Structure 1
Amino acid sequence: MNTEQSINKYRQVVENKYQIYNSLFMNLPYDKMTNIGSLIPFLYNQSAEGFPKGKTPTEIVETFFQKHTEIKDENEQIDLLFRFIQYIERQVVLFDSIEDAAFSSLFSYTDEGTIESLYQLAKQQNKLEEVKQKLADFAIRIVFTAHPTQFYPNNVLRIIQDLRSAVQHDSVSNVDLLLQQLGKTPFLNEEKPTPYDEAMSVIYYLRNVYYDAVGELASQINSTFFDHGENVENPFIQLGFWPGGDRDGNPFVTAEITRKVADELRSAILKSYYGHLKEVRRRLTFKEISEPLKILHKKIYDEMFTNEGNVSDEDILNTLNEVRKTLIQRHNGIFLDILDNLIQRVKIFGLHFASLDIRQNANIHDRIIRDIVQKEFKLNFDELSEEEQIKILTEKELNIDENDYEDELTKDTILNVKQLRTIQKLNGKRGVHRYIISDSETIFDVLNVYALFKFCGYKDDEIDYDIVPLFETIQGLDMAENTMDILYNLPVYKKHLSRRKNNQTIMLGFSDGTKDGGYLKANWEIYHTKETLTKVSERNGMKVIFFDGRGGPPARGGGKTRQFYASQGNTIANNRIELTIQGQTITSMYGAKMQAKYNFEQLLTAGIQSTVSEDPKASLNPEEREILDELANVSLQKYANLKAHEKFIPYLENRSTLNYYGKTNIGSRPSKRNSDSGLKFSDLRAIPFVGSWSQLKQNVPGYFGVGSALKKYKDEGKIDNLKILFEESSFFKTLILNSMMSMQKTYFPLTFYIENDKEYGEFWKILYDEFLLTEELLLEISGYNSLMEKEPINKSSILQREKIVLPLLAIQQYALEKIQNDSPKKEAYERMVTRSLFGNINASRNSA
């Protein structure tokens, strides 16, 4: 579809349907919400007209009350604003459901990046055999995290799923009933979820979405590229899991939680197999087949509840493969495709469903190792030479008892490392096989974890785990090449990697990289780091696998995921695609089977595309690299100056929602590190940091510094170089388009009034000037007339969502202004700010 066709289609299947169902929504009999739907448009009009004129939120909201209500009492006004918030939250859910239901009408199975389009291209290029070979070894791994960017409680998620289905079937009566249920269902968690609660939320999607989505996609790939019975053994779609294993900054993730979550993952996949096998048995009722299937069915049923390890994935596959032979030999292979479908899923999901990753901060390991060395060897680790430290960390073997230690974190860490053996025994080796070290910078960050295993009773050849450094700060990225080169040449670690088939997984963190160095610098630094790590790994005979810690919005590494991977040229290892999917991205992009399949295959084909045809735009020549180097450095300096501004932290504390993220019951993890200390930039977590800019509709981390960097080139008369770079470099174009997305979700008129603020006016103007400069130059180098000009569907979605939440943003700014002015009802307005976070985030889909 061309741009105009896409816009018309979106209007028909999304916007028009929303208007119809929203009119139904407005007339439903909600408790205390009568006439709310008819009042909100008036607040919208006041906001849409007032903010661009520089009116304050107080002027806008008070004018609304004066013109359109008879409410004079402040308590009653506050009550009405809370009801507005509740109503708009539900409008967002309705819009989400309608947009999701329209997915198949907006996207086609023949689109670029689908399996079908890849097959046709491979066939045209006579590259089908090459694709088969790539599929035999290539994989994508989607790792689900519990990072708190999702504000819907589980019962609301269930309603959303049902509402989506009702809209798809145009069932007005069901939509009516579900909207009534939505109106009466609380959107708030009464208490913060535990890590176990978070895990169970994601396990819901594993069972109800990904078991079928991944299984069906795998079957589609096999039937498209391989002859019958030629199915590859490689599970080219894999799932990872962080809830219950991610300890970084979360004191509530304990060894007990990790074990409980591992058990739940095993139980969940057994339940999926049990249900699937029931369907298989309905067809395979033949002699010499029905009995072994019945016995297997009973074994799985018993194991679901006992979890004693009496069934392994190998046991299940052996039985199914024997049945398969009999089916072919004696029954002409009837219903073979049904049986193969189950076999394929057992190969993919094993008894683990999703691999549970363990993650902890390097500084914590550092502290624990010093504790152990002091106690066990009576040595002060810091007084040892580097050579002596390495010797202790790689050669000493112990089997320490966690009960000998007083520090609870040390005790729990030891217990957890020990119990990983048990988890592997029950869930299989894929059940837990990676230990990720966040904030990695030196070889000791990796060796500390290696030592932890050896101190907990593991022999060298029993450390059946990938030790994964996570480089995320600019300093860590700069040091990554040297760190890995030393590790690769360390005899003990080299032998460890040999046992891991010379595979080294390295994680790169976009969120903290962007927070630390700004948008352009972080993205270019990660790209460059991948290149250097590819070289150093190849030089040492190692196969490097990059694992990207990507968030939802461009400011945290998100955005156009397929284009991001397709834009990485042959200077970056392409052995796998691994990335984190978190919070709201799970529900918005992977929350239904159709969307999940589409986005899984978009990633898979991005990694295989180069096998079929090399994209000349995916490589960078020396001149292009020089431009990117200069742009990144200029951008970094501009961003560094902003961070150093005396009003940077005070502005976030007093003019944004930063302080309110911790008051929402959306995640188990504290909203900042060192929660007992005062607010420091280094303690800020990326999600509330980026999210606060998003709530202000300023989205600073997604563009700040970009305009200044581009302006330097324009001032030097080299703007044409940037225009050529935009057309010739897929990487640069993706960076620019992602930044455009951030800017499209920006609405500075919301805070025009701050320009006149004595304390923050000057700082606000720095932000606004950079926005205007960046917008002007992005349009100039792209040749576009407006932001996101070539993405009509996504742009239409953003514009409609922004329209829905503008009254909500006005209420939030109004409450912040009241707090700033020390209102006697400050506590009520603080609750209002916290409540308004929910709808704003959910409506923006991946903006935070």
Structure 2
Amino acid sequence: MRTDTRLLGDVLGRVIREQAGERIFDLVESTRTEAFRVRRSETDRDTLAARLATLEPRDALHVVRAFSHFSLLANLAEDLHHDRRRTHHRRAGSPPQPGSLDATFAALDAADLDPAVVARELAGALVSPVITAHPTEVRRKTVFEVQRRVTELLRTRDRAGVEGAEQAAWDAALWRQVLTLWQTALLRLSRLRLTDEITEGLRYYDLSLFEVLPAVNTQVRAALAQRWPDADLLPTPVLLPGSWIGGDRDGNPFVTADVVALATREHATKALEHHLAELGALESELSLSSRLITPTAELDALAEASGDSSPFRADEPYRRAVRGVRDRLGATLALVRDEIPATVPYTDAAELRADLATLDTSLRSHGAGALAEDRLARLDTAVEVFGFHLCGLDLRQNSSVHEEVVAELLAWAGVHPGYASLEEDERVAMLAQELTLRRPLVGPRAELSETTAGELAIVAAAADAVRLLGPRTVPNYVISMCSSVSDLLEVAVLLKEVGLLNPGVDGAAPSCPVGVVPLFETIEDLQQGAATLDAALQVPAYRALVTARGESQEVMLGYSDSNKDGGYLAANWALYRAEQELVEVARTHRVRLRFFHGRGGTVGRGGGPSYDAILAQPPGAVAGSLRITEQGEVIAAKYADPALARRNLEALVAATLESSLLDVEGLGDEPEAAYAVLDDLSARARRAYAALVHETPGFVDFFRQATPVGELAELNIGSRPPSRKAGGSISDLRAIPWVFSWSQARIMLPGWYGTGTALQDWVGGDDARLAQLSDLHARWPFFRTTLSNMGMVLAKSDLGLARRYAELVTDVELRDRVFGAITDEHERTVRMHRAITGGDLLADNPALARSIHHRFPYLEPLNHLQVELLARWRGGDHGSDVHRGIQLSINGLATALRNSG
């Protein structure tokens, strides 16, 4: 890794010397040298800051670009090194690593599980990574592609080696890519549109998901069938992809009915084009001649139905059959594109799979099973996984919007003129009654407000997509800020209004392909979530919908807003407690519960290793299935190539299997004592957090001046506005810019603040209590993961650099008061973390410790220059170079910190 890092840094340096001149190269090199001297405590940090403060804006731009590009390249060397280590361990016959399917199946074998228990726990199993458009991925697609080419060059060298003339050609190719990187703008000229975000999300299917998702599904099914052949496990794929891009309109006014239609159409097009390409390859490969083999009668019929009369394929029944299948699938694609199909399209993916089964059976009938198990089997699994719809597109909207819309619909229909003024029990009774009636509330000529008309149009567009592409096209409707039963029933009424929900009158059972999913986000909503679900399941109309969906209910948990609301420890414990209580409610009502975890990339938004996070869930919370959001820069980090994707998808499935089938909590039969400790710690942490964030006068001013949150809003990294609504409070700000901005200032406050006070006060100098916490850290995955993730955040923070950001606060008394509190709490938290874990902050993550040691000196100049440029900009110097320098520094720091948003 060090060799690769030096190589890439050397090439970058030579490119800078050639392109920017000797003076800029010397400036960059001397800055790099000084940054490392600072890290080795050989010089004072203020000396470097003062030196950089004298730079002209254009020179500062060159330095920011140079260190940003180095961070990009160093990331590549680090990622490649991890792959290299995994390959080495595999070839050396090392035991499988935790998080791999091999390690999980070894653990399951050792547990000697009852097949009936396995069948029960894995009934309805589902693991679904859901890609969202939350904007923390700062890289342009163009830059990403250059990085990918550099990585491929390094991998080619590792696989085959280069020497002589090949070495010269390889060096030249690497030079060209680094040169391209230097001459490519890191910043977008304009903000991403939703159409761009849809396209961005789709590219990961070509990069990895089309290859890896079917392969992992096949591997898991085969391994389970081998161990429990009579249990009929996983009749449907366990891994299914999802998306929010184009359906999530909570606070995003750009999501319209046209966007929902576009997203589902583009998804279908991507899936069908993939299937058509595979069929084209299959047609080429299956050149078997009827002069040499005898296909089944069904295969002959399929070939005859194709209408292919070419004399060149007269004795090639498989090619003719596949040609007919391709023609029908092409007609399906034409239908999706709103074109006139040339032949009869498929009605659904099951019909296509039936034709593929005809090919499979025939091939096996004459000894060509090896051919059936190659591309044909992969295509069949791909059609099973991706269907004609590619992935499920969730809808999401805020509960307050639903209330407004339903109130207007009820008023227009003459049901009630003032729904919003009703008490909760009156609302529930009225909505439940509506769910028993087939009649719509409004007709096509209803005079509705722009908001109501727009919301109905969006749900109607989803209904159209479901009718065209099948029920998996729009599987869920997520309700943000859900806090009552009426919030759930309002969405059900909207689904009924567009025909997605059939009330099932005249004795028929109701049905709805779209699940109504409450999202509990704030601490209070998490605490009341079980009561809300319990009350909803007691409403016959809603309970009937749950029954119609196989006695299954999904609940989404919000990590970001709960953290912003109550702080790191309080939010994590509130989530744990909420899951316990929701599981108990589901058991009482005999409903199968699935959790949807709204995790972000950074620890302050639920981030951290997914495998550890899943194992840290309370007993019964996984139960064979979960969904999880993949956001921002995490998407590229996990799914940019097949090796990355396979490793991360395996980790999701492995943790799900272990959490469902093994006792992973580690607290034995009497966990209540541990729960009581966390109840106490959580309450203390929340009070400490609230005292600073919610109760300190002027804290919002400190945050806005000491971080680049205002300037971040101008960075073109997503279509969604940075705030839910106009306002100056923390609650108005979205969790993403809240966390992102603290990361830029190297404070990382959402990932630790309040925990140090809670731990210190609870221990109170009592060695026995400290030992109790150390014991919980050793035995309990939840507590261990919580402290591990916090240790990562603390290691990435730097209060020395943060002090420079604090100097941007103009009110000296406010600055000293707030930053003093932050500094004191940081010291407490680090001290208590080390006391409990018995090691350094990254003792359990040596790879990250090495990364920080080698790469963080390159962040030093970026932070210093960002502070300097912010001061100039806010002081009235609005030159274009200053503005670009600020944005480039934000970009560079986010790249270097990696999970920053």
Closer/same/farther in 2, CA of residues 750 and 29 from structure 1, 3 Å limit: closer
Q: Match of 1:150, SS?
A: coil
Closer/same/farther in 2, CA of residues 231 and 525 from structure 1, 3 Å limit: closer
Q: Please, what TM-score do these two structures have when normalized by structure 1? A: 0.92
Closer/same/farther in 2, CA of residues 449 and 112 from structure 1, 3 Å limit: same
Which range moves more in the overlay, 337-346 or 276-285? 276-285
Q: Please, what TM-score do these two structures have when normalized by structure 2? A: 0.87
One-letter amino acid matched to 1:79: R
CA RMSD of aligned residues (A): 2.6
Q: Match of 2:493, SS?
A: helix
Q: Is residue 2:763 matched to residue 1:725? A: no
Provide the residue aligned with 1:816 in structure 2.
870
Confirm or deny: 8 A CA contact 2:466 2:473 kept in the other structure: yes
Closer/same/farther in 2, CA of residues 602 and 824 from structure 1, 3 Å limit: closer
Q: State the Cα distance separating 1:44 from its structure 2 match.
A: 3.9
Which of residues 118, 131, 153 in structure 2 aligns to 1:144? 131
Deviations 1:559-584 (A, max 9, x none): 12211211224243523121100010
Which of residues 649, 656, 669 in structure 1 aligns to 2:720? 669
Q: State the Cα distance separating 1:402 from its structure 2 match.
A: 6.3
Q: State the Cα distance separating 1:715 from its structure 2 match.
A: 1.3
One-letter amino acid matched to 2:148: Q
Q: State the Cα distance separating 1:154 from its structure 2 match.
A: 1.6
One-letter amino acid matched to 1:844: L
Which of residues 393, 400, 408 in structure 1 aligns to 2:431? 393
Cα separation, 1, equivalents of 2:188 and 2:648: 30
Which of residues 454, 459, 474 in structure 1 aligns to 2:502? 459
Provide the residue aligned with 1:296 in structure 2.
325
Closer/same/farther in 2, CA of residues 682 and 65 from structure 1, 3 Å limit: closer
| Alignment gaps of 5+ in structure 2 | 91-95, 158-169, 291-316, 504-509
| Alignment gaps of 5+ in structure 1 | 1-13, 67-73
Deviations 1:707-766 (A, max 9, x none): 101101221512121111111211101100010011111011113356774440221111
Provide the residue aligned with 2:820 in structure 1.
765
Which range moves more in the overlay, 464-473 or 790-799? 790-799
Which range moves more in the overlay, 226-235 or 572-581? 226-235
One-letter amino acid matched to 1:217: V
Q: In the TM superposition, what are the counterparts of 1:589-604 in structure 2 within 5 Å?
A: 589-604=638-653
Q: State the Cα distance separating 1:405 from its structure 2 match.
A: 3.9
Provide the residue aligned with 2:794 in structure 1.
743
Q: Is residue 2:473 matched to residue 1:431? A: yes
Cα separation, 1, equivalents of 2:52 and 2:792: 32
Provide the residue aligned with 1:550 in structure 2.
599
Which of residues 387, 407, 415 in structure 1 aligns to 2:457? 415
Which of residues 677, 686, 689 in structure 2 aligns to 1:627? 677
Q: State the Cα distance separating 1:610 from its structure 2 match.
A: 4.3
Q: State the Cα distance separating 1:193 from its structure 2 match.
A: 1.1
One-letter amino acid matched to 1:319: D
Which of residues 42, 60, 63 in structure 1 aligns to 2:51? 63
Q: Match of 1:335, SS?
A: helix
Closer/same/farther in 2, CA of residues 214 and 752 from structure 1, 3 Å limit: same
Q: State the Cα distance separating 1:826 from its structure 2 match.
A: 6.8
Q: In the TM superposition, what are the counterparts of 1:354-753 in structure 2 within 5 Å?
A: 354-377=391-414, 379-396=417-434, 397-398=439-440, 400-401=442-443, 404-457=446-499, 458-460=501-503, 461-610=510-659, 613-615=662-664, 617=666, 621-643=671-693, 644-674=695-725, 677-715=726-764, 717=766, 718-753=769-804
Which range moves more in the overlay, 719-728 or 376-385? 376-385
Identity %: 23
Which of residues 269, 272, 275 in structure 2 aligns to 1:270? 272
Provide the residue aligned with 1:206 in structure 2.
205
Closer/same/farther in 2, CA of residues 22 and 582 from structure 1, 3 Å limit: same
Q: State the Cα distance separating 1:357 from its structure 2 match.
A: 0.5
Which range moves more in the overlay, 232-241 or 221-230? 221-230
Closer/same/farther in 2, CA of residues 351 and 128 from structure 1, 3 Å limit: farther
Cα separation, 2, equivalents of 1:573 and 1:496: 22
Q: Is residue 2:74 matched to residue 1:20? A: no
Q: Match of 2:99, SS?
A: coil
Q: Match of 2:477, SS?
A: strand
Confirm or deny: 8 A CA contact 1:215 1:344 kept in the other structure: yes
One-letter amino acid matched to 2:872: K
Provide the residue aligned with 2:27 in structure 1.
39
Cα separation, 1, equivalents of 2:67 and 2:365: 61
Deviations 1:769-789 (A, max 9, x none): 1111110110111010x2111
Cα separation, 2, equivalents of 1:765 and 1:261: 48
Which range moves more in the overlay, 684-693 or 751-760? 751-760
Q: In the TM superposition, what are the counterparts of 1:187-206 in structure 2 within 5 Å?
A: 187-206=186-205
Deviations 1:399-441 (A, max 9, x none): 5246634532211110111222221122221111210001111
Cα separation, 1, equivalents of 2:862 and 2:579: 41
Provide the residue aligned with 2:885 in structure 1.
832
Q: Is residue 2:120 matched to residue 1:118? A: no
Deviations 1:632-668 (A, max 9, x none): 0000000000111113111111111111121011100
Confirm or deny: 8 A CA contact 2:614 2:659 kept in the other structure: no
Confirm or deny: 8 A CA contact 1:555 1:690 kept in the other structure: yes
Confirm or deny: 8 A CA contact 1:402 1:410 kept in the other structure: no
Q: State the Cα distance separating 1:30 from its structure 2 match.
A: 7.9
One-letter amino acid matched to 1:428: G
Closer/same/farther in 2, CA of residues 835 and 104 from structure 1, 3 Å limit: closer
Cα separation, 2, equivalents of 1:27 and 1:450: 62
Confirm or deny: 8 A CA contact 1:469 1:506 kept in the other structure: yes
Confirm or deny: 8 A CA contact 1:30 1:183 kept in the other structure: no
Which range moves more in the overlay, 499-508 or 808-817? 808-817
One-letter amino acid matched to 2:74: F
Q: State the Cα distance separating 1:301 from its structure 2 match.
A: 3.4
Which range moves more in the overlay, 297-306 or 562-571? 297-306
- Larger Rg, first or second structure (1 or 2): 2
Q: State the Cα distance separating 1:253 from its structure 2 match.
A: 0.7
Cα separation, 2, equivalents of 1:571 and 1:789: 30
Cα separation, 2, equivalents of 1:86 and 1:541: 58
